[in-house]
Amino acid sequence: MKYNISQGKLSVAQKLLLLLSAIGLVFVLILPLWRIELAAPQYPEGLVLTMYPHKLAGDVDIINGLNHYIGMKTLHTPDFLEFSVLPYIIGFFIACCILVALTNRQKYLRWLVIGFILFGIIAMVDFYRWNYAYGHNLNPNAAIQVPGMSYQPPLIGYKKLLNFGAYSIPDKGGWIFIGSGILLLMAMLLPTFSSKKHVQV
């Protein structure tokens, strides 16, 4: 007899993973998503730019002062549409996790996972575009000018910018967001792994 995957219904384990993912995304709403750390000899304690879903935080004023000298546009939360819409997008995925668990259908879970992955890709592309624009669109009348130099922070990882070392890494909320995505992917793949444990007779 061939094992059948519950006629398109979600298992209890899948529903639990969906709810855990939703709970994780609730914390994402209130925790910092990403951080850019700047290290230089004149700032031995370091500078940090922190990005929440709804605002910029950290040493924004000091970084803006440095940006002004090299011709970079200063950073202000109202200038970014992303901070207005991101909390609603995260809220949408929280609601989707709960609704998929309630509707109890495998096909809705697959659509949720696809949507979540696509959003993650779009978000990283937008972040790269944001970094590129701020690092390359420099004021030609800036006090400090280095011919051929741009100041684009790394998308992720380390990059040397003049005498500053810039580290771009997920913050607490970013890691939880990634974890929530992994939980959703595990939920989607769970029936496949379960079916392999059953041998046709």
76 part of a folded domain: yes
The SS3 of residue 41 is coil
177 part of a folded domain: yes
pLDDT of residue 195: 59
pLDDT of residue 152: 86
Output the CA torsion sign for 58, 61, 62, 65: positive
pLDDT of residue 199: 42
Identity of the residue numbered 201: V
Percent of residues in the chain assigned helix, strand, coil, to nearest 5: 55, 15, 30
3 part of a folded domain: no
118 part of a folded domain: yes
Question: What is the chain's pLDDT, residue by residue, as a tens digit (201 residues)?
Answer: 343 444 589 999 999 999 999 999 999 999 999 999 999 888 888 999 999 999 999 999 999 988 888 888 889 999 999 999 999 999 999 999 999 999 999 999 999 999 999 999 999 999 999 989 888 888 888 777 777 778 888 889 998 888 889 999 999 999 999 999 999 999 999 988 765 655 443
pLDDT of residue 112: 97
CA distance 52 to 31: 6
Domain count within the chain: 1
pLDDT of residue 2: 41
Give buried/exposed letters for 52-84 (b at 16+ CB in 10 A, else e). bbbebebbbeebbebbeebbbeebeeeebebbe
Domain range holding 156? 10-194
Token reading at 20: 């855990």
pLDDT of residue 31: 97
200 part of a folded domain: no
2 part of a folded domain: no
126 part of a folded domain: yes
Give the C-alpha distances (Å, rounded to integers) separating 92 from 123, 134, 168, 189: 15, 29, 27, 22
φ, ψ of residue 91 to 5 degrees: the values are -60, -35
1 part of a folded domain: no
Residue whose entry in the numeric block shows the structure tokens 């040397």: 160
Measured in whole angstroms, how far is the alpha carbon of residue 195 from the centre of its chain? 33
CATH of the domain at 117: 1.20.140
